[in-house]
Structure 1
């Protein structure tokens, strides 16, 4: 089974980050558990580095309507039209602000996937929002979107 960094991140998010349990294992214990679950050492290290490099943005101070986002060629190669459209949608409805959108794009590009699909993008958005102070409402809204989509797939 080929696991990648996003799979490790999802496992960590579902089992440690977004839980009521405030006690977190140390890095060595966590790495050992991830290896026992079946993740490869290289993907584990990349995922932990990805989390370590999570950017926290300061609140926006200028008018968000004055910003226009033009995607670079490399971003277009990695984010298809559905992903780019979804980012625009999330920004228009207020889930993402300009700074948080940029953190999401930077974190998506930091994954070792050639192309990111919409489901992976949604999880990255959820993880980024989790780490942003003052974005609890946006996080809750995004969490509902992600899990509502999962329930639709299951049924």
Structure 2
């Protein structure tokens, strides 16, 4: 599922390709690219769920959280998101890349993945996807891209 999401992100979003794609056409393209139908459906549903997170009426508890609050992870979240990834999320909040709201969106989408393996690099992709899809986070998206780039170059620890 992560492979499909990354493929879609790189092909349609990151490359500035045409964003208005017919869903049937998109499914056909993904099938031709070698992805399985059930995984394609799950990935597209995951993206729809991401879009729904922007409905503030449904997630008013998230938007009402104080920026100084501390996030306590559930056992299920801790089993999916390791210590290194949780530390990275905290770091991104401290430097202003993530707000409490976008952090919760990221966590929601991580938990919405149907995959047995999840690593820090996967988390970075999820963060980029969330920031790209939430209006008003263009600067944060750019900062995240720069942070990933400099981290890959070995300049940031």
Q: Distance in 1 between matches of 2:139 and 2:71?
A: 24
What secondary structure, in the 3-state scheme, does the structure 2 residue paired with 1:64 have?
coil
1:37–1:62 Cα change, 3 Å? closer
Q: CA deviation at 1:144?
A: 1.7
After TM superposition, the score normalised by the length of structure 2 is 0.85
Partner of 1:38: 34
Partner of 1:56: 54
1:75–1:23 Cα change, 3 Å? closer
Structure 1 unaligned residues grouped into runs of 5+: none
Among candidates 9, 14, 32, match of residue 5 of structure 2: 9
Partner of 1:26: 22
Among candidates 73, 87, 100, match of residue 85 of structure 1: 87
> Is the CA contact 1:123–1:146 (under 8 Å) kept in the aligned structure 2?
no
Q: Deviations over 1:30-71 (max 9, x none)?
A: 101101111111111000000011122659577411x11000
Give me the CA root mean square deviation: 2.0
> Is the CA contact 1:129–1:135 (under 8 Å) kept in the aligned structure 2?
yes
> Is the CA contact 1:57–1:100 (under 8 Å) kept in the aligned structure 2?
no
Q: CA deviation at 1:127?
A: 0.2
After TM superposition, the score normalised by the length of structure 1 is 0.86
